[in-house]
Chains A and B, each alone.
Chain A
């Protein structure tokens, strides 16, 4: 059926071009939809970037092109752009009212095939099909490239024969002829059957990307080259061109993260832009956490993908931090499947907020010389970063998670009960440490975080199903911080008390609350040291978070770890996550609630 519709679509190309429009502004969505329909395109609109990404992942071949706004509250447009480029390899057009050269350049750097200025006119949309066409042509070339590779291999084989030259000459000629014929065939096919071209397009699945990253790390980021990676990956059918283009995107992604981390102070605000780069991952959960000034506060971050991990972050106690530390700012380098939110996303009133991306490739820690960016990441403003795992559980439509739908916020009591059901895990310690003195973070033991909270809850962490190079993290379930939970469970209250110095209020509020459904089922993560980082059990399951949603049952590729660097005692970290599910509800939040949530984001 796909072929059929593809053929019919192609025949009338560009009629029926399948466009996905992503914009948080409903008015623009309506207008763009109308404009694109008038161009005879098939339009799908989406108000949330997360939802868009989910849609793209679920229906990979359902869209031809994506048009996205740059400034969206739930996710940076550039981030979406990267994800789409890396995972789906679809052409993406950016839009914005901001037409500054730097922004446009950024768009192009991130792989946008075009950058439109708002207000967008219909005539600009009429020609977007050219980007789809161009990409198809590039794919054809990749196929040609594959043929060339084959030719070279065959040629080499023949060189071993006695009549090398003769044979080579003959074979080369015949191979060339064959190649030409193939090219022609492909060129024809491109127009008649896009499905063929589509087959040739490599889909960078979680597995594949993991292999890619493994290879990159093995070779050494500095010495990496498409051929070397291809050899190491040992994936039949994969061409050097496939790897080369993927590598390019990967580099872009890493450099972007690096820049963001460099330019960031810990006081940076955290935007609700946590994403997991995973073919099947969704990052939908946004939670707001807050670290209290007194006592240890723990922060639960859930990685969207399959791994619900909780990380306890000790709060503002410098000593505690020293012991706790952690860090790995690998994130950007290992951009893989779990995208890391940039440190800037971490909202911290004080110095906290370094994002760690616990990519599958934890071994990157070993790649110190290869990751200069990492050292930069490490340069926190004093203090020792605390590691946090972030999880984005898939939104559970049945439940109302924190920010998903304010009208159905979970009641604290219910949450508590639910939570109690899950709180029976043996204490474990999150042991990931980062030696801030060094440029490279090495993972060592993380001391348990202690909490002074009235109610202490175990923080179970569900196993992280890393595909390869699993990371094991042990979580000290004896630590808990209800504050975070309660904050998460009741955004309204949280929001109500949110303020510049709302910490006290919040604290009180939190203490009154019990853990909300934030706490995921017990997770067995044991992160001991660098080497162990690689040995995460593969059979980790994703458990659903109460009130959060269910995690996808996919291997964990990356975990994002938020690192909080607390150099002072008065630290308050504000993390704010939006539940991606928001898109299920009207993407228009209640005016009363939305601002509150937003506040928390940036407070």
Chain B
């Protein structure tokens, strides 16, 4: 009972993340890659993503501080971050990155700064939500996870 309840919670959690636009179908694709050889694949990938994307976010922050006029560089960094977001399907972060890039192309510093704050925020929110999700997932155990990834 508890098991299926947890499973339901996990399934619900995932669905709501997708419904609210935090994640897209790429996340499901990752789940399909999970197998016996790599049972925690999705979590590993997500962890790697946040590790790398945090670095990229810091890079952008630094660039905005130190070389704010270098829009080319900012755009390039934004592209890198966006590229990264597509790996796990971080939809909201990706969309904010797109806007940020647009501001870079327009060389609109204020726009860039405002947009970047949003990028940061979405990034932090997603991180929080996914951490909670995986925590829940771990509780369900590997067997349960195998079942609910099919959901």
A residues in contact (CB < 8 Å) with B: 24-28, 30-31, 34-35, 38, 69, 71, 73, 96-98, 118-119, 121-122, 269, 498-500, 588-589, 591-592, 594-596, 598-599, 601-603
Contacts and interface: CB of A to CB of B under 8 A. Distances in A.
A122 B33 contact: yes
Contacts of B48: 26-27, 30
B44 A30 contact: yes
Contacts of A592: 58, 62
B9 interface: no
A135 to B, nearest CB: 28
A591 B26 CA distance: 27
B83 A97 contact: yes
27 contacts: A24-B80, A25-B52, A25-B83, A26-B52, A27-B49, A27-B87, A31-B30, A38-B33, A73-B76, A97-B79, A97-B82, A118-B86, A269-B72, A269-B73, A498-B66, A498-B67, A588-B51, A591-B59, A594-B59, A595-B62, A596-B62, A599-B63, A599-B70, A599-B73, A602-B67, A602-B70, A603-B67
B134 interface: no
Interface in B17-50: 26, 29-30, 32-33, 35, 38, 41, 44-45, 48-49
Contacts of A603: 67, 70
Given A27-B48, A97-B83, A119-B89, 13 more contacts: A25-B83, A27-B52, A27-B53, A28-B83, A31-B45, A31-B87, A34-B38, A34-B41, A71-B79, A119-B87, A594-B55, A598-B59, A599-B66
A599 B67 contact: yes
A107 B54 CA distance: 30
Nearest to A587: B52
Contacts of A588: 51-52, 55
Contacts of A30: 44-45, 48
Contact of A71 (B49, B67, B83, B87): B83
B80 A122 contact: no
B146 interface: no
Interface of B: 26, 29-30, 32-33, 35, 38, 41, 44-45, 48-49, 51-55, 58-59, 62-63, 66-67, 69-70, 72-73, 76-77, 79-80, 82-84, 86-89
A59 to B, nearest CB: 26
Nearest to B89: A119
Contacts of B26: 119
A500 B69 contact: yes
A171 B73 CA distance: 66
Contacts of A594: 55, 59
Nearest to B69: A500
Secondary structure call for the B interface? helix
A591 B77 contact: no
A591 B53 CA distance: 10
A595 B58 CA distance: 8
A73 B35 CA distance: 33
Contacts of A98: 79
A73 B84 CA distance: 14
A34 B33 contact: yes
Contacts of A591: 54-55, 58-59
Given A26-B48, A34-B38, A118-B83, A595 B63 contact: yes
Ranked nearest first, the 4 interchain pairs of A and B with the lowest CB-CB distance are: A602-B73, A27-B87, A595-B59, A595-B62
A592 B66 CA distance: 12
Contact of A119 (B35, B38, B59, B86): B86
A596 to B, nearest CB: 8
Contact of A27 (B45, B63, B77): B45
Nearest to A26: B52
A35 B37 CA distance: 12
Given A34-B38, A73-B80, A119-B29, A28 B70 contact: no
Contacts of A34: 33, 38, 41
A142 to B, nearest CB: 37
A501 to B, nearest CB: 10
Given A24-B80, A598-B63, A97 B86 contact: yes
A599 B66 CA distance: 8
A139 to B, nearest CB: 34
Nearest to A38: B33
A27 B88 contact: yes
B98 to A, nearest CB: 10
A34 B44 CA distance: 12
A30 B84 CA distance: 12
A25 B84 contact: yes
Contacts of B29: 119, 121-122
A601 B59 CA distance: 13
A68 to B, nearest CB: 13
Nearest to B77: A598
A598 B73 contact: yes
Contacts of A73: 76, 80
A594 B73 CA distance: 13
Contacts of A118: 83, 86-87
A27 to B, nearest CB: 4
Contacts of A31: 30, 33, 45, 87
Nearest to A28: B87
A38 to B, nearest CB: 7
Contacts of B58: 591-592, 595
A330 to B, nearest CB: 27
Which of B67, B70, B82 is the most central at the interface, judged by chain A CB atoms within 10 Å of its CB? B67
B2 to A, nearest CB: 32
Contacts of B41: 34
Nearest to A71: B79
B33 to A, nearest CB: 5
A147 B100 CA distance: 58
Nearest to A599: B67
A206 to B, nearest CB: 33
B54 to A, nearest CB: 8
Contact of B72 (A28, A122, A602): A602
Nearest to A499: B66
B70 A71 contact: no
Which of A38, A589, A592, A595 is the most central at the interface, judged by chain B CB atoms within 10 Å of its CB? A595
A588 B79 CA distance: 16
A209 to B, nearest CB: 32
A424 to B, nearest CB: 39
Contacts of A35: 33
Contacts of B72: 269, 602
A27 B67 contact: no
